[in-house]
Amino acid sequence: MSIPGFVEYQAREFCRDVRCPVQLLLDAKEKGSEDYERTREICKVGCLHTAREFHYWLIDKGYLIVKPKG
């Protein structure tokens, strides 16, 4: 659900912006291919960046983290 007047974070936007070497490999492969999925496993089990880096990147780029009341 998007909020009027705001844009949502797009998948891998952080990875592309920080020029993650794994993302650069993924960009060179066909999405969904066996080689792509094998390379993507690197992100799933051993991301090169920390949650803290991602969090501060979001703040620096003006993103807000929102949660519905309830």
Q: pLDDT tier at 3 (50, 70, 90 boundaries)?
A: confident
pLDDT value of position 55: 96
Count of Cβ atoms closer than 10 Å to residue 26 Cβ: 21
In this prediction, residue 2 carries a pLDDT of 82
Nearest to 8 by CA among 50, 56, 63: 63
pLDDT in tens, 15-54: 999 999 999 999 999 999 999 999 999 999 999 999 999 9
pLDDT band at 70 (very low <50, low <70, confident <90, very high): confident
For the residues of 7-68, what is the DSSP string, one character each? -PPPTTHHHHHTT-HHHHHHHTS-TTSHHHHHHHHHHHHH-SS-HHHHHHHHHHTT------
Assigned token pair, 65: 């983290």
